[in-house]
């Protein structure tokens, strides 16, 4: 046993290597002997099991063997004891404890009578149940692990919540949580939890649990009460619970917390290994995906930072004379590889800067002198050079020294400098007639003092030269832009030219946006003399540009960055525009969408319905919303919730449609999976009955063959007798074949699109699966024949599933009532009726009806009145959703003798 299993054995208060005992109402025995006469009358009982038979069956009055058997076992024996020799008989007997006794035995002659020797096979059935439970746990763990590993990172929280809900529903655990170490690794916290309906709310997301779970590395009881374990009261409060560890190479990495749950009583068939397997199925892929998510985020941050800055890292390898570039940098430099010889790297640098770069790199290599240099990058002689700022540092010493740095694109700065120089050159030609304000600032003791303004200054701002001298010019600059103005002055003195944009206040306090273009003039010694520049009022253009930019940004965010699919198309469904999410779903680039017909991804029926809906749009009612079904590339089917808004010309003719959609595929598939799961659950509930449905014809055929062989061995050959027996065998073969065939059809998944069908087909299929089983249990079926030939639209197997759910629920209620009252005569009625618009299917019983206080909640998910472990609470909820999806209505009310369920479906219109 592994360390994890040993620890968890202590958490469940179990001894290693032992399994919890099976709970069985039947005491251990060596058998039951029944002494029969030639007609099957029981003359005497012996053996320990006779004390477990029902009292009325253990009376001293002679009774036939059939009186000791449950009704469904009566067909397993036919004829007289002499006909049963050489056959193995599996029979179910009435017992005092309630559940039947499952016995297996044989008949042998004894004196003038017959001895029926029976052995208890309840333990064998219990072991089979244990093996099935463990197999289901392993299958559940595999499915949970696959779902968490295969889902996208974006859906990981939803997928984890779905799997916790699934685990809760499978094992009936009210409260489940996954606890992980916090980011600092100092304590545990709730990563995600699931709480069933009406269960106590013990946890919240990201709730910190401290280090209390670390104490579970020692021994801990299976029930952790706050009074017994005060340090763990934050986990479970006053409720019972236990924690399942998951270990990796570093130790316990996660905990699966189960609260308000007693595993020994509610899941006795699951071993410690099964619980550890379930915890690993949740925690292992979760931790793996979280590590993947963090690594992915780090890479995204690095790539985003480099893309935003227009930069990238580089590293020179001296031993191989090669340079390694960041992928984003190599892409921006139009290089086909990220690692290339250093000489090829130098060849990309402009010849005027190449030798200096080589020299600086050599100094960095030999002496560790930091590299800071601006160079021009020119891939070929025809392209314009790009300016890059290179900075580098040396890491390590000696032979282990590494040269690492980054390259920053500063082409925009250099281009602005060139533009400023050109503007200054034009200034001399425009100064006399320019509407801009021309100014001259004198360089005095490291500062620039205004010495000249053109006459347009007064017309533009209402100032004079006297208002700007002695340092008062900065007082007219908008307070928020003064740092920018100071930076403009420093740049002008540093670089000799500047182009800046800032706000100033005129003499009335009005704000003006000025474009400041200036150039610094120097003497023959290179010392600053004066700055010459102009102010151009760009208020209108700046405000207009900001408004346009804001409008464009809002539109771009609304359309391009929206998670919804947004597009425009003509009435024939030809796209004229589509945003990126739509292109992503259709697996093409956004620029490829115009000209594509949206109907090419729809079936003929879907496309016709879509066009009919568009044809109903009018200028008064221009909007329509519906769910559409498409077959997208790489996907079987997709469902979109689609909203159209028509655009009409002055004559009211539809000329264009603007549409917004969202993907509803996961919701729809979840509904389909829930429906299929409910269908499988229904088959599971019927499994025992269906097994008897198949076993009984086999027993009848076996008895008939034995009798025929006996007649033949005695020489008594009668054609009528043989014909009757063969016809009976043929009828039983057909009966079993019909049950098996219909089980296979019923278990298949429903079609993608709804199809027209006659609802009477669903009634026929339901009766083929349930009728014999119900009659075998003593439930009378009252079927009212209906001969109408109408069709509804939907899924015939799903309507059959609804009818089965209703009849199985009625059967369970009736059998429960009969256990309390043996004289009760149960019946279920099923009939159909229709009018011009609606078909109604009625399912009634005489079980006494439903508590009026529960009628309003009976269709809620997970609501059930059955004991824990018997019902899931999904049958009626799924049935309600199935009928609603077919455009119908499922309702219930109490009749005179019991519950009356009514299914109403609209009749499908035919062409």
Given 409, 444, 475, which residue is the final one in a domain?
409
**pLDDT (mean) for 653-682:** 72
Report residue 226's pLDDT band, with 50, 70 and 90 as the boundaries: very low
| Alpha carbon distance 168, 818 (integer Å) | 33
- What is the SS3 assignment for 343? helix
Q: Are residues 277 and 363 in the same domain?
A: no
**pLDDT (mean) for 371-397:** 83
The helices-and-strands tally (H runs, E runs) of the chain is 20, 34
User: Which pLDDT score is estimated for 827?
Assistant: 92
> Six-digit token pair at 187?
């304590």
Q: Are residues 377 and 277 in the same domain?
A: no
- Please indicate, yes or no, if residue 881 is contained in any of the structural domains: yes
Q: Are residues 212 and 80 in the same domain?
A: no
Given 363, 378, 409, which residue is the final one in a domain?
409
For the chain, give the number of residues. Answer: 911
Report residue 656's pLDDT band, with 50, 70 and 90 as the boundaries: very high
Report residue 736's pLDDT band, with 50, 70 and 90 as the boundaries: low
What does DSSP say about strands 827-834 and 780-784: parallel, antiparallel, or unpaired?
parallel
DSSP assignment of 406-473: EEEE-HHHHHHHHHHHHHHHHHHHHTTT-SSEEEEEEEETTEEEEEEE-THHHHHH---GGGTTTTTG
CA-CA-CA-CA dihedral for 420, 423, 428, 430, to nearest 10? -150
- What is the SS3 assignment for 635? coil
Q: Are residues 405 and 425 in the same domain?
A: no
Report residue 738's pLDDT band, with 50, 70 and 90 as the boundaries: low
Report residue 541's pLDDT band, with 50, 70 and 90 as the boundaries: confident
Count how many domains the chain has: 6
Report residue 98's pLDDT band, with 50, 70 and 90 as the boundaries: confident
- Please indicate, yes or no, if residue 892 is contained in any of the structural domains: yes
| Alpha carbon distance 365, 41 (integer Å) | 109
User: Which pLDDT score is estimated for 748?
Assistant: 47
- Please indicate, yes or no, if residue 568 is contained in any of the structural domains: yes
In terms of residue numbers, what domain contains 218? 129-295
Q: Are residues 520 and 488 in the same domain?
A: yes
**pLDDT (mean) for 605-630:** 86
**pLDDT (mean) for 790-809:** 84
Asked whether the beta carbons of 403 and 361 are under 8 A apart, the reply is yes
| Alpha carbon distance 258, 241 (integer Å) | 5
Least confidently predicted of 120-134, 563-577, 671-685, 840-854? 671-685
What's the pTM?
0.36
Pick left, alpha or beta for residue 497 (phi over 0 → left; psi -120 to 50 → alpha; otherwise beta): beta
Report residue 671's pLDDT band, with 50, 70 and 90 as the boundaries: low
Beta strand extents in 286-363 (DSSP E only): 311-317, 322-325, 339-341
- How crowded is residue 142: how many other Cβ atoms within 10 Å of its Cβ? 12
**pLDDT (mean) for 744-750:** 48
| CATH number of the domain to which 369 belongs | 3.30.450.20
Q: Are residues 852 and 781 in the same domain?
A: yes
Q: Are residues 584 and 525 in the same domain?
A: no
pLDDT exceeds cutoff 60 at 39: yes
**105-128: per-residue pLDDT in tens?**
889 888 889 998 888 877 777 777
> Six-digit token pair at 117?
């020797």
Least confidently predicted of 53-67, 72-86, 189-203, 792-806? 53-67
φ/ψ of 81, rounded to 5, equals: -55, -30
Q: Are residues 737 and 804 in the same domain?
A: yes
Who's near 736: CB < 8 A, 6+ residues apart? 693, 694, 697, 698
Who's near 45: CB < 8 A, 6+ residues apart? 32, 33, 34, 35, 53, 58
User: Which pLDDT score is estimated for 609?
Assistant: 83
Q: Are residues 866 and 728 in the same domain?
A: yes
Residue 597: DSSP 8-state: B
- Residue in 154, 427, 488, 196 with CA at minimum distance from that of residue 296: 154
Given 511, 544, 577, which residue is the final one in a domain?
544
| CATH number of the domain to which 248 belongs | 3.30.450.40
φ/ψ of 839, rounded to 5, equals: -105, 135
- What is the SS3 assignment for 826? coil
- What is the SS3 assignment for 685? helix
| CATH number of the domain to which 40 belongs | 3.30.450
**752-785: per-residue pLDDT in tens?**
467 888 888 888 878 877 777 788 788 888 888 7
| Alpha carbon distance 681, 92 (integer Å) | 25
CA angle in degrees (0–180, nearest 5) for 683-685-688: 95
What does DSSP say about strands 899-906 and 838-845: parallel, antiparallel, or unpaired?
antiparallel
| CATH number of the domain to which 723 belongs | 3.30.565.10
- Please indicate, yes or no, if residue 26 is contained in any of the structural domains: no
Produce one character per residue of 27-50: b if its CB has 16 or more CB atoms within 10 Å, e if not: eebebbbbbbeeebebeebebebb
pLDDT exceeds cutoff 90 at 904: yes
- Please indicate, yes or no, if residue 133 is contained in any of the structural domains: yes
- Residue in 576, 573, 601 with CA at minimum distance from that of residue 587: 601
Which residues are paired to 242 by β-bridges? 258
- Please indicate, yes or no, if residue 73 is contained in any of the structural domains: yes
Q: Are residues 387 and 449 in the same domain?
A: no
- Please indicate, yes or no, if residue 601 is contained in any of the structural domains: yes
- Whole-Å CA distances, 392 to 313, 408, 741: 9, 12, 77
Q: Are residues 89 and 236 in the same domain?
A: no
pLDDT, mean over the chain: 78
pLDDT exceeds cutoff 50 at 29: no
| Alpha carbon distance 863, 876 (integer Å) | 9
Asked whether the beta carbons of 779 and 827 are under 8 A apart, the reply is yes
> Six-digit token pair at 657?
């449609």
pLDDT exceeds cutoff 80 at 670: no
Q: Are residues 357 and 247 in the same domain?
A: no
- Please indicate, yes or no, if residue 845 is contained in any of the structural domains: yes
CA quadruple 616, 617, 619, 622: dihedral sign: positive
């Amino acid at each position: 046993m592994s360390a994890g299993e040993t620890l968890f054995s202590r958490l469940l208060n179990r001894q290693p290597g032992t399994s919890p005992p099976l709970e069985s109402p039947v005491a251990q025995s060596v058998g039951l002997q029944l002494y029969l006469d030639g007609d099957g009358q029981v003359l005497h009982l012996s053996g320990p099991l006779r004390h477990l038979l029902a009292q009325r069956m253990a009376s001293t009055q002679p009774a036939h063997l059939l009186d000791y058997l449950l009704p469904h076992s009566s067909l397993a024996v036919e004829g007289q004891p002499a006909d049963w020799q050489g056959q193995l008989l599996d029979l179910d007997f009435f017992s005092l404890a309630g559940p039947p006794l499952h016995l297996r035995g044989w008949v042998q002659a004894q004196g003038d009578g017959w001895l029926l020797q029976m052995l208890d096979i309840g333990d064998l059935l219990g072991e089979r149940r244990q093996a099935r439970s463990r197999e289901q746990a392993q299958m559940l763990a595999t499915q949970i692990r696959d779902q968490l590993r295969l889902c996208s990172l974006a859906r990981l929280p939803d997928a984890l919540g779905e799997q916790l809900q699934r685990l809760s529903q499978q094992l009936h655990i009210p409260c489940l949580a996954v606890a992980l170490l916090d980011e600092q690794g100092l304590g545990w916290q709730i990563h995600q939890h699931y709480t069933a309906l009406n269960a106590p709310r013990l946890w919240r997301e990201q709730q910190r649990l401290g280090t209390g779970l670390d104490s579970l590395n020692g021994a801990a009881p299976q029930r952790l009460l706050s009074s017994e374990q005060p340090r763990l009261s934050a986990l479970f409060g006053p409720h019972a619970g236990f924690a399942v560890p998951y270990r990796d190479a570093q130790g316990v990495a996660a905990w699966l917390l189960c609260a308000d749950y007693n595993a020994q009583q509610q899941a006795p068939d699951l071993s410690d290994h099964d619980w550890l397997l379930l915890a690993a199925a949740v925690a292992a892929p979760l931790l793996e995906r979280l590590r993947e998510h963090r690594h992915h985020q780090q890479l995204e941050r690095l790539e985003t930072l480099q893309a935003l800055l227009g930069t990238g890292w580089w590293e020179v390898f001296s031993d191989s004379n090669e340079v390694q570039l960041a992928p984003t940098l190599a892409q921006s430099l139009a290089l086909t590889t990220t690692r290339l010889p250093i000489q090829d790297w130098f060849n990309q640098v402009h010849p005027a800067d190449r030798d200096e770069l080589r020299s600086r790199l050599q100094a960095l290599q030999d002496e560790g002198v930091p590299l800071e240099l601006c160079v021009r990058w020119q891939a070929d002689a025809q392209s314009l050079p790009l300016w890059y700022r290179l900075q580098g540092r040396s890491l390590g010493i000696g032979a282990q020294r590494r040269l690492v740095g980054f390259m920053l694109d500063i082409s925009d700065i250099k281009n602005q400098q060139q533009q400023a120089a050109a503007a200054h050159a034009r200034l001399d030609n425009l100064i006399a007639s320019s509407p801009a304000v021309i100014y001259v600032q004198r360089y005095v003791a490291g500062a620039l003092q205004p010495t000249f303004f053109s006459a347009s200054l007064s017309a533009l701002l209402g100032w004079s030269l006297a208002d700007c001298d002695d340092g008062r010019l900065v007082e007219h600059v908008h307070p928020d832009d003064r740092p920018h103005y100071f930076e403009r002055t420093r740049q002008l003195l540093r670089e000799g030219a500047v182009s800046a944009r800032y706000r100033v206040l005129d003499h009335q306090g009005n704000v003006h946006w000025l474009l400041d273009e200036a150039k610094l003039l120097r003497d023959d010694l290179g010392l600053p003399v004066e700055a010459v520049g102009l102010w151009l009022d760009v208020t209108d253009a700046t405000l207009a540009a900001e408004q346009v930019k804001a409008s464009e940004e809002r539109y771009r965010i609304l359309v391009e960055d929206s998670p919804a699919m947004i597009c425009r198309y003509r009435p024939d469904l030809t796209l004229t525009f589509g945003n990126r999410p739509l292109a992503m779903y259709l697996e093409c680039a956004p620029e490829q969408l115009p000209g594509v017909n949206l109907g090419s991804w729809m079936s003929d029926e879907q496309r016709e319905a879509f066009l009919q809906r568009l044809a109903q749009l009018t200028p008064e009612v221009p909007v329509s919303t519906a769910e559409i079904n498409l077959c997208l590339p790489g996907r079987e089917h997709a469902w979109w919730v689609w909203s159209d808004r028509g655009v009409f010309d002055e004559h009211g003719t539809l000329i264009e449609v603007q549409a917004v959609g969202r993907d509803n595929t996961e919701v729809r598939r979840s509904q389909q999976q829930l429906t299929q799961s409910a269908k499988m659950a229904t088959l599971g509930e019927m499994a025992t009955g269906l097994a008897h449905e198949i076993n009984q014809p086999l027993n009848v055929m076996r008895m008939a063959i034995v009798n025929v062989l006996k007649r033949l061995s005695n020489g008594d050959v009668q054609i009528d007798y043989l014909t009757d027996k063969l016809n009976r065998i043929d009828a039983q073969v057909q009966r079993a074949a019909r049950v098996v065939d219909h089980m296979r059809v019923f278990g298949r998944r429903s079609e993608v699109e709804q199809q027209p069908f006659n609802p009477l087909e669903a009634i026929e299929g339901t009766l083929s699966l349930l009728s014999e089983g119900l009659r075998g249990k003593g439930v009378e079926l009252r079927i009212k024949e209906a001969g109408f030939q109408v069709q509804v639209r939907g899924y015939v197997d799903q309507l059959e599933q609804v009818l089965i759910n209703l009849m199985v629920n009625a059967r369970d209620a009736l059998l429960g009532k009969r256990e309390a009252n043996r004289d009760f005569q149960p019946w279920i009625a099923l009939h159909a009726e229709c009018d011009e618009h609606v078909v109604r299917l009625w399912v009634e019983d005489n079980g006494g009806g439903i508590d009026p206080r529960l009628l309003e909640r009976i269709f809620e998910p997970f609501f059930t009145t059955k004991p824990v472990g018997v019902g899931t609470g999904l049958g009626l909820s799924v049935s309600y959703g199935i009928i609603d999806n077919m455009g119908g209505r499922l309702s219930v009310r109490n009749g005179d003798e019991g519950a009356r369920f009514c299914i109403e479906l609209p009749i499908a219109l035919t062409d």
